[in-house]
Amino acid sequence: FAGLNFAFFFVNRRYQFSFPYLALAGYTTFAMIFGLLVNEVVTKQTKLVQLLFNIPLLKFFGRISYGFYIFHWPVYLLLSPWLFSWVSKYASGSSLQFIVSVLGTLAAIAISWVSYQYYEKYFLKLKDKFA
């Protein structure tokens, strides 16, 4: 049922998010599928799910995700004017926007990694003392 939901959503893009089907059954099926995914991860019964969640790149982004959530917007606000002026010497139009987005994302990832290594790890170690 969720597969049909995904297919319906991506095939019929003209309906946007205001289409009643999505509000009635769509969000419910998305929630149920993500609930099943969480159940599979917690119970570790499916080898495919175990393999998927043990991919090193996914683990890396899982570790830095909070920092990325916190830092992506300040990085965008601080770096985008400088990046646009610098990259506009070499590119224009949609390629300019794409390059600036990639560079800004890489900067936010780097800052998030530094934050995780030198700030968040310290507090994560303290959870054993207070839990």
88 token code pair: 């506009």
What is the rounded distance in angstroms from the CA atom of residue 15 to the CA atom of residue 101? Answer: 28
- In this prediction, residue 39 has a pLDDT band, given cuts at 50, 70 and 90, of confident
**Amino acid 37: pLDDT:** 80
Answer yes or no: pTM beyond 0.75. Answer: no
Parse the chain into domains and list their residue ranges: 2-51, 56-130
Contacts 24+ apart (CB under 8 A), 5-10: 5/29, 5/30
Closest C-alpha among 121, 104, 111 to residue 68 = 111
* Interval 39-45 mean pLDDT: 79
DSSP state of 16: T
